[in-house]
Each structure stands twice: as C-alpha cells, then as structure tokens.
Amino acid sequence: MKLTLMDCHNLYKFFNKDFFKDEFDYSLGRCHIFTDRKEAESIFGPDDYSKISGISWINDNGRNLIWLNPLLLNNKKLLCNTILHEMIHLYDYAVNPEIRNYRKGHGSYWTKIANYATALYGDYIGKIDQFGDSYEKDRLDHYKLMDSTKTLSNRYIILLRSRKIVPVKKLNKRQIAWLKSTNIRGIFKVKPNIEQTRSTRVKKYATFDMLKSVIENGISEEQENLYRDISLNLVDSTEEIWVKS
Ligand SMILES: [Zn+2]
C-alpha cells in the first residue's frame, strides 16, 4: 500500500513530540513536506534527485522544508528513517545556525543526535546514518528498479532461432498461429510469482510489430541490448506454449 503526504505529516508530528519534545524539550515548527522534483530543483538547485532520499532546509521565512523521494512512499520503515533523518537536520540547523549549510549537514552534532535516535528506536526504523543506512539505499534502489521496469510474470517469451529471447506483453490466438509458421524455436509464458530481480524485469516489452521485424530481419543491436540482461531459466520459470518439433 502506498503511503501519502498526509502520512508524512503525521510521522513528522509523531517524531516532533516523541523525539524532539520528549527527549530535548524542543519543538520543530510546521513543515512543508513535498515530493515534487521540479519544486525541489527550484529550492535546492539542480541535482540527480533519483539518487537522493531526502533534503531539508529552513527557508528565509523560517519555514521548515523537507523534500522526499516519492519512491519512499512505498515503504513505511524507509519513510520513517528518512523523515527523522531530515528532521534531525532541521533541528541541527535551528540550534546551530552558525554552521547551517545543507550541502554539508552531517557534522558531529547531527551525528550525535542521529545515534541517539537510532538507539532509541532501534530496528523499528533502522540505523539513522550519515548518508542513509544500507537498508535505506538498498530499498531505494529496489523501488527505483520496480518503478522503471516491468515484470516478466505472466508475459510471453519468444525464443528465436538464434536462441536469443524477446519478451512480449500479450499474444492473441492469431499472433500465436502466425508465430508457429515462422522459424522461431518456441513460445513460453512466464509463470506468475517469479522473483522480481533485475534479470526478470525489462524496461519495455517488444511490440508485436517489433517481434515480427526481429523474426523477419534479424535482431538489431539496439533490440538485443534491450533484452540482453534477461536471465530466466525457461524450464523452471515458464510454461511451454509451443516448441518447434
Ligand atoms: Zn542527511
């Protein structure tokens, strides 16, 4: 289930009371939490925002700002970890205004508070680390992969004469009949519930027209590169639809 910006604000409120108020008798002001990349660019400047989990700042009007990578909305633990990480920055900026600089924000004070938070919340939210803990990084990469690629579960795999494979999303009866009349080696349907790893996902499926062109004219380098990394064991991961005898 996807979390929302409302959940982010509730988490912010929770940590504001449970951590900053109860432990340090300090209350962070209201915060504008957002996930829009364009808005982040206008505030924080150009950067590769797909690689960043979160950024925070106090603007000239004293308003707290937290940008969160929208992929974090897929995972509550990750979201909690990052929101608290950014809130510790906001706290650090507020109580140490003389060292305020969001580009080098992980100083000794930030680290001390982050370690305190890690000890307090333990595995509920994971280690609050200087550059995001390894859990946070792995999860972000995972969601990035899920977001930018499509699964092969329930999709079709065409085994070409050259033994190269081409994935297609759907095949109708007429298309299957046509494929059987060509020189391909076989048609397979990928089982549901295969493991979702880099090698079982693709950037895009081949269209039927592309498949036709591959069969009739051979596979181009560009098409080959698109599907080169697929590594599916056809015997274990697929159901045979048709194999040339
Ligand atoms: Zn940070």
Within this chain, do residues 134 and 182 fall inside the same structural domain, yes or no? no
Looking at residue 205, what is its pLDDT? 96
Within this chain, do residues 111 and 136 fall inside the same structural domain, yes or no? yes
**Could you tell me if 206 and 230 are in contact, meaning their C-beta atoms sit under 8 angstroms apart?**
no
Please give the residue range of the domain that contains residue 201. Answer: 150-243
Q: What is the per-residue pLDDT across 67-113, written as a single tens digit (0 to 9) for each?
A: 999 999 999 999 999 999 999 999 999 998 777 665 557 888 999 99
Of 147, 182, 205, which closes a domain? 147
Angle separating helix axes 5-15 and 76-95, nearest 10 degrees:
50
| pTM summary value | 0.74
Within this chain, do residues 121 and 201 fall inside the same structural domain, yes or no? no
CA of 131 to the centre of ligand 1 (A): 6
CA of 198 to the centre of ligand 1 (A): 28
Looking at residue 171, what is its pLDDT? 97
- The torsion angle over the Cα atoms of residues 138, 144, 149 and 155, rounded to 10 degrees, is 50
CA of 105 to the centre of ligand 1 (A): 6
Spatial separation of the C-alpha atoms in residues 190 and 200, rounded to whole Å: 10
Within this chain, do residues 61 and 109 fall inside the same structural domain, yes or no? yes
Burial code (b: 16+ CB inside 10 Å, e: under 16) for 219-229 equals: beeebeebbee
Within this chain, do residues 42 and 10 fall inside the same structural domain, yes or no? yes
Looking at residue 142, what is its pLDDT? 85
CA of 55 to the centre of ligand 1 (A): 7
Within this chain, do residues 19 and 98 fall inside the same structural domain, yes or no? yes
Looking at residue 97, what is its pLDDT? 79
CA of 106 to the centre of ligand 1 (A): 6
CA of 217 to the centre of ligand 1 (A): 52
Give the CATH number, domain containing residue 31. Answer: 3.40.390
CA of 104 to the centre of ligand 1 (A): 8
Within this chain, do residues 113 and 160 fall inside the same structural domain, yes or no? no
Q: Where are the beta strands (DSSP E) in the chain?
A: 31-34, 54-58, 64-68, 150-151, 156-159, 165-168, 186-190, 201-202, 238-243
Looking at residue 102, what is its pLDDT? 58
What are the mean pLDDT values of the chain's consecutive 10-residue runs (245 residues total)? 94 98 97 96 92 90 95 93 95 84 76 96 88 77 88 96 95 97 97 91 95 93 90 93 94
- Per the structure, the count of domains in the chain is 2
CA of 87 to the centre of ligand 1 (A): 9
Looking at residue 139, what is its pLDDT? 80
